Amino acid sequence: MSISTPGGPERRPTVVSTGKKPAAGRPASGAKAGTGKPAATPRAGGKGPRKPVTPVKVSQGRAWGPIALFVTVGVLAAGIIGYGAWASFQGSKPWDKKANAIDGIVNIRKTDKTSLEYESHKSGPLTYKYSPPVGGVHNAAWQNCMGDVYDAPIANEHAVHSLEHGAVWITYRPDLPKDQVEKLAGKVRGVEKMLMSPYEGLDKPISLQAWGYQLKVDNADDKRIDEFIKDLRVNASVEGPTALCNTGITATGTTPRELQQQPPTQ
Amino acid sequence: MTAPATTDTEHDDVVAAPDEGGRAPARRYGLAALAVMVVVGLLLGYAGGLLTPRLVRPGDSSVEAGFARDMTTHHAQAVEMSLIAYRSATLPEVRQIAVDIATGQQGEIGAMQTWLREWGLSPTGSKPPMSWMSDGATVKDGLMPGMATPQQMASLRDAKGIEVDRQFLKLMYDHHLGGIHMIDAALGETDHAEVVRVAQTMKNTQQTELNNLRQLQAQAKG
């Protein structure tokens, strides 16, 4: 009250003078700021001359600060939440969607489903439609796929059984440079549901197989190799994530082996 | 104090002063209220997001819980007979399929037990076995469909030579038939995506194995 009282008399001349000369409004508002009033009040006084318009203009001007703040915070929050949602959505995309997004992958589950169907295990040599094969009938024995790196070709009839159990089988042309072979082996060794072997007659230097999927690439540095492994290893299993890769055939040679008769331990 | 002061001062400012003095605090309170509402809304949404999975997850007497518990029991016997066959069967193909069944089903037990823990349920149910199945499956002497009797298990343990193969193949064949019957019942009554996915994989695997078991039965006869 005591502040406003001196302000009052000061004010009256201000209003009067601004009514005549707009320029006089400015010193008046400067003087009023000195009285310690809320910042908005001087502004209202300053714009006094345009009386009917003043209230509207003032209210608009006053709201911009908070609006800008809220919009900024809102946009930031929406951006952060949106990115999080997008990232988690991408991360939780089903494996088959991710696999299908790999450039150049062949999805035989879609294009040729019947080639993967079979009744029961079949012994002896079998013929396959795709080279290297990606599924279908196979021997009772599977190729050991506990991160095994085979230095010689192996039997399709065993490897296909490994694919059924969720293994990714890397094959490469025997003339692939040694450093590239070593690069591929680095992705296999010690990793269950992985196996690798040279393969005669490949039309591309490297071919990757999972049950119903194939990807052929030219170079061991191709980034799609890691994508293929990440998306299809274990996931492509027909018999769930715990189908066996151990207790399989560990010998090489393209002729399928009959399981060795072992004397029962009991 | 400030409010009357402002009104007082700006009273002479004709329309501007009272109008403005009345609006500014209201707008400030409006912003504050809006901010509070946004925060409360976010908190409610967060709480809802936290609570919803708890409220919609399968309950203690649900089909999903019954299936997880009973299929665990069912699988456990398959693992036991398979490991006996893996150790003692004569035909290498029989030992091979036996170890595949044993580890595969033990893995599935792990998945089913994880469901129960995630749903906040006990691995043991208070209801009798198979009561989740609406089509009235028969439980004989506490045994679910396809399970071997204690006498059959004792006989398998004592068997020697090719007799292990024969008994195992017969027991496991019946075991799978009963298992598929239970899986079908669960699939018919649940739309829980994860349960459906695992149950469907189980069924496909056991159906393929039935063919392989039958083929081996013929081989073991000779």
Instruction: Output the DSSP codes for A24-51.
Output: GHHHHHHHHHTTT--THHHHHHHTTTST
Nearest CA of chain A to the CA of B133: how many Å? Answer: 24
A240–B15 CB contact, under 8 Å:
no
How confident is the model at residue B53, as a pLDDT? 78
Considering only residues A212 and B128, tell me which one the structure prediction assigns the higher pLDDT: A212
Q: What is the mean pLDDT of residues A82-96?
A: 84
Mutate to test the interface with A, among B100, B101, B105, B160 (most CBs of A within 10 A): B100
Coil/strand/helix, residue A71: helix
Instruction: Spell out which residues of chain B touch residue A109, defining contact as CB-CB under 8 Å.
Output: none
- Pair B32, B79 in one domain: no
Query: A36 pLDDT exceeds 80?
Result: no
Which helix (DSSP H) or strand (DSSP E) does residue A171 occupy?
Answer: strand A168-172
Tell me, yes or no, whether B3 lies in a domain: no
Q: How many C-alpha atoms does A80 have within 13 Å on its Cβ side?
A: 5
Coil/strand/helix, residue A106: strand
- Pair B180, B159 in one domain: yes
Buried b (16+ CB within 10 A) or exposed e, B88-113: bbbbebbbbbbbbbbbbbbbbbebbe
A109-142, pLDDT tens digit by residue? 999 999 999 999 999 999 999 999 999 999 999 9
Q: By CA distance, what is B34's nearest residue in A?
A: A70
Say if residues B201 and B183 touch (Cβ distance below 8 Å).
Answer: no
Q: Residue A44: which of B5, B13, B214 has the nearest Cβ?
A: B13
- Pair B103, B14 in one domain: no
Tell me, yes or no, whether B88 lies in a domain: yes
Query: B23 pLDDT exceeds 80?
Result: no
Coil/strand/helix, residue A222: coil
State chain B's maximal CA–CA distance in angstroms: 116
Report ipTM (2 d.p.).
Answer: 0.70
- Pair B114, B179 in one domain: yes
B118-163, pLDDT tens digit by residue? 999 999 887 888 888 877 667 777 789 999 999 999 999 999 999 9
Q: What is the CATH number of the domain that holds B96?
A: 1.20.1260.10
Question: Which residue's entry shows tokens 């692939």?
Answer: A176
Angle in degrees, CA B84, B87, B88, rounded to 5? 80
- Pair B23, B128 in one domain: no
Query: B12 pLDDT exceeds 90?
Result: no
Tell me, yes or no, whether B4 lies in a domain: no
Coil/strand/helix, residue A146: strand
Say if residues A140 and B93 touch (Cβ distance below 8 Å).
Answer: yes
Tell me, yes or no, whether B1 lies in a domain: no
- Pair B81, B20 in one domain: no
Helix axes B162-189, B193-221, angle to 10 degrees: 160
- Pair B81, B15 in one domain: no
Nearest CA of chain A to the CA of B3: how many Å? Answer: 10
- Pair B81, B116 in one domain: yes
Among candidate residues A188, A240, A232, A241, the one with its CA nearest the CA of residue A212 = A232
Nearest CA of chain B to the CA of A67: how many Å? Answer: 9
- Pair B70, B28 in one domain: no
- Pair B46, B102 in one domain: no
- Pair B182, B95 in one domain: yes
Domain that holds residue B157: 59-221
The CA dihedral of B104, B105, B107, B112, to the nearest 10 degrees, is 150
Domain A105-232 class in CATH = alpha beta
The CA dihedral of A94, B59, B186, B68, to the nearest 10 degrees, is 80
From B20, B38, B54, the end of a domain falls on: B54
Tell me, yes or no, whether B99 lies in a domain: yes
pTM above 0.80, yes or no: no
Query: How many structural domains comprise chain B?
Result: 2
- Pair B22, B96 in one domain: no
